[in-house]
Amino acid sequence: MTPRVPAPKVAVLGAGGWGTALALSLLRAGHSDVTLWARRAEAAQELRERRENVAYLPGVPLPPELHITSKLAEAVDGAELALVVTPSVGVPDLLAALPQKLPLLLCAKGLGPNGERLSELARAGGFAWLAVLSGPNHAEEIGRGLPAATVIASDDPALARRAQALLQSASLRPYTSGDPVGVELGGVLKNVLAVAAGLVDGLHLGDNAKASLLTRGLPEMARYLDWAGAQPGTLYGLSGLGDLIATAGSRHSRNRAAGEALALGEQPEQGGKVVEGLRTARLLHDWGEQHGFDLPIIHAVSRVAAGEWAPQQAARELMEREMRAE
C-alpha cells in the first residue's frame, strides 16, 4: 500500500479581504491544510465564530476546514509557503517576527517606509526564498471564485513554479515570470493611476479624459520601472497594464474610490482600509523630484492627496502643460 503523502501546509498572513480571498482560493485548489492568520485575537475569534469576514469580504462563507488563528508561530509552523498579505505598512514588523528559512510569497501591493520594494526589505531581513504575486485580482471576485489570472515572479524559478502549482485552480490561473522587480512594482504603481482615474470620475470629466490620463500614465510607470531594473515587457502584462485596467475602472477598487472621494471633497479613507495609492503617490513624487524624472500625473495625485492642489487645479495643470510630441 502506497503511504499517504501529507498535504502541504500553506499559511496566509493577513486576514483582510485579499488574504481571505487567497485562503479561499487555496482551498478551491484542493489544499486541506490552509491557515489564515489575523493580527488581532478578537478579529480571529470573530472569523472563527461567524465563518465570514464581515468587514472585508461580506457574504462569502469561510469553510470549516479553514483554520484561523492570531498566533503567528502556530500559523507558520510546518508551512511550506507563507503568503504575506498584510498592508505594506505592516510588512516590516511581520518580517521581523518570521523565521528566515520560511519561503515567502509577497502579495501586498505597496512600498516600504522609505520607498523600498517589500522584497528588498525581505532580502535585507535574511529571507532567501522569495516570490511576488500581482495581477488584476480584486478580492471581492476571487473570494467568490470568479475566474482570474495572476503572475508569480521570482529569481528562483523552482519556487515560482511551486507557488504556481499550489494556487492553480479552476478559477485562478497563475503564470510565472522571471522579473520579480517588474511584477512587484506594476502592482504598486498602478494604484496611483487608479487614484487619478477616480479623480476623473469624481469630477465627471468623461471617458476620453480617463483613457487619455491612463495612457499617458503608462510612460510614467515605465520611467520608474526602467530605473528600478525591470524588464520592459512586464509593464504590458497582467501585473502592469492588466492590473491597471482592473483597478482604474472597478467599483471594487479602493484606490479609484479614494480618488473619487477626493474629487467630491470627502475623506479618501474607507472604514480604516488602507489606500496604498495615496501613500505611494507621495513616495514616487519625492523620488521623481530627487532624480529629475518628469511624472506629471503622479505629481498631481500627490499634491491633491496632500491638500496642496484642489482636484480642479490638478486637471488644469495637466491640460495646460507645454505642448510636445507623444
pLDDT per residue as tens digits for the range 30-83:
999 999 999 999 999 999 999 999 999 999 999 999 999 999 999 999 999 999
Q: Coil, helix or strand for 131?
A: strand
Terminal-residue alpha carbon distance, the chain:
68
The C-alpha atoms of residue 145 and residue 256 are separated, in whole angstroms, by 23
The C-alpha atoms of residue 122 and residue 106 are separated, in whole angstroms, by 9
pLDDT per residue as tens digits for the range 180-208:
999 999 999 999 999 999 999 999 999 99
**Could you tell me the pTM of the whole model?**
0.92
pLDDT per residue as tens digits for the range 223-244:
999 999 999 999 999 999 999 9
Domain ranges of the chain: 9-178, 182-319
Top-level class of domain 9-178 = alpha beta
At 256, list the grid cell.
479609484
The C-alpha atoms of residue 230 and residue 226 are separated, in whole angstroms, by 6
The CATH number that domain 182-319 falls under is 1.10.1040.10
Do residues 256 and 201 make contact, with C-beta atoms less than 8 angstroms apart?
yes
Q: Coil, helix or strand for 35?
A: strand
Longest Cα pair distance anywhere in the chain, in angstroms?
Answer: 76
**Which pLDDT score is estimated for 18?**
97
Which residues are tagged catalytic? 190
Q: How far, in Å, are 193, 265, 313, 323 from residue 319 at the CA level?
A: 16, 21, 10, 10
